[in-house]
Amino acid sequence: MGDAEKRAHFSHIAREISEILLAAGRPTPWVVFGHTHLVDNHATLHANLVNTGTWISPEIGTDLLPFLQIEIDHATAATSGSLLGWHEGRSEIRSLEIRHSP
């Protein structure tokens, strides 16, 4: 399975999970996966779908350890998230650009 097919599969499964939870009255604003070696994120009508890849993702190299930071506004219960990478050698956090292979 190539990268495009893996991304389509991830998106399909994440949407299904979001729809199942929504139908059960348990909507979730985030569906998060990892360890597929493909960093990806996008939003749907009901959820943010995020794949953090893995700590050896060929898309971002081995210098950055990808992670998702979710912030919650406790006054409104609104959430926001950022796909970030920890650069061990520089002890810094960087925003991840997602490069999709053709």
Residue 21 pLDDT more than 90?
yes
What is the model's pLDDT at position 58? Answer: 52
CB contact set of 57 (below 8 Å; sequence gap of 6+):
37, 38, 39, 64, 66
Please give the pLDDT value at position 102: 35
User: Can you give the C-alpha Rg of the chain in angstroms?
Assistant: 15
Write out pLDDT tens, residues 23-76.
999 999 899 888 777 788 888 888 888 888 776 555 555 677 888 888 899 999
Q: Which residues contact 18 (CB under 8 A, 6 or more apart)?
A: 27, 28, 31, 44, 46, 47, 49
pLDDT for the residue 100: 43
Q: What is the pLDDT of residues 68-88, one digit of tens each?
A: 888 899 999 888 888 888 887
Query: Is the pLDDT assigned to residue 101 strictly greater than 50?
Result: no
How far is the C-alpha of 16 from the C-alpha of 4, rounded, in Å?
A: 18
pTM of the model: 0.73
